[in-house]
Amino acid sequence: MKRSPNSDFLKVAMVLLLCLAGCKKNPAGPESGAGELVVSMDNGVSTTSTTNGTSFSPLVLNATTYKNANGDDFTVSTFKYYISNVRLLKADNSTYLVPDSYFLVDQSAPASQKLKLTAVPAGEYTGISFTVGVDSARIKAGGFTGVLNANNGMFWDMNGPEFINMKLEGRSPQSPTTGLVFHIAGHKGAANNTIRTVALPFGASKLLVRPNHLPEIRVQVDVAKLFTGPNTAMLAPPFLNPVDFSIVYNRMSGPAVAKLADNAAAGMFTVTRIDAN
């Protein structure tokens, strides 16, 4: 049977069209779409010695005895804090604010220490920032549900609605009561405002967000840095860095608590690495 020249021509044309279609580049580029990522909050305590230098140990509740910069011994029974308004930074100084990003990190609940961010625009990011606490605009909006529910033990309404931005409780033999109670709360007035924003650059590393990929930002959260920082002295009420548990051992509001919030913002949070990038 004689083959038609037209038939051969059509076959060659179809092969060429398929090849062109397969080689065509995606006009949207590699940064199209959205992805997910996890921010892991690695809570622990750093210690410094003349023999071993500085080491960081995971926080263990009700068991391990740690030492603050003043040399006081302490254990921790409760450690909880809010992270909100998570923002990712790019090299061109543009940012992406993760919508409705409110997280309650609780040392007694390991799952809460993994902050999952979804529907993040694909791209290359150079840093992260977040609020330690709950911003005043959200407080004024009301309607507290989920991690902002009062049942989480991080909310009071004595002088109007207010969140405990960070809570640490424990024990120390240097405390006059042997107890430690630090409830870092307050957003009204400059002297009592404990809401802080922390910006953490990634340095030489870059965070790559793209579809079907789940990178992880590891953030070291150093409890010891709550008790030492840039503010050296405040006369009334007594406050001195490093914190002396024989003097400052129970604070739940006021200027001294704002100084503790300064300590937390100054050195408590550090990006240690980015995994599965």
pLDDT in tens, 82-101: 999 999 999 999 999 999 99
User: pLDDT value at position 31?
Assistant: 58
Domain boundaries, position 93? 28-275
> Where in the chain does DSSP place strands (E)?
34-49, 53-58, 66-67, 73-89, 95-97, 102-106, 114-121, 123-125, 127-132, 155-156, 162-171, 179-185, 196-201, 207-209, 216-222, 233-234, 239-240, 250-251, 269-275
* Domain count across the chain: 1
**Whole-number Å distance between alpha carbons of 231 and 241:** 6
- Which pLDDT score, from 0 to 100, does residue 14 have? 52
pLDDT value for 204? 92
Q: Quick check: 4 pLDDT over 70? A: no
Say if 86 falls within a structural domain.
yes
Q: Identify the residue with better confidence: 197 or 30.
A: 197
Whole-number percent of the chain with pLDDT over 90: 71
Identity of the amino acid at 58:
P
Is 40 part of any domain?
A: yes
- Which parts of 95-232 fold into alpha helices (H)? 136-141
SS3 94: coil
133 occurs within a structural domain: yes
pLDDT band, very low/low/confident/very high, at 187 (cuts 50, 70, 90): confident
Is 152 in contact with 101 (CB distance < 8 Å)? no
Average pLDDT over residues 101-130: 97
pLDDT digits (tens, 9 = 90+) for 37-89: 999 999 999 987 767 778 999 999 999 999 999 999 999 999 999 999 999 99
d(CA 122, CA 215) in angstroms, rounded, equals 12
User: Is the residue at 243 inside a domain?
Assistant: yes
| pLDDT above 60: residue 129 | yes
pLDDT of residue 186: 84
Reported confidence tier of residue 225, pLDDT bands at 50, 70, 90: very high
In-domain check, residue 135? yes
Q: Using an 8 Å Cβ cutoff, are 74 and 226 in contact?
A: no
pLDDT of residue 235: 58
In a domain, 55, yes or no: yes
User: Among residues of the chain, what percentage have pLDDT more than 70?
Assistant: 85
Instruction: Please check whether residue 7 lies inside any domain of the structure.
Output: no
What type of residue is 164?
I
In a domain, 6, yes or no: no
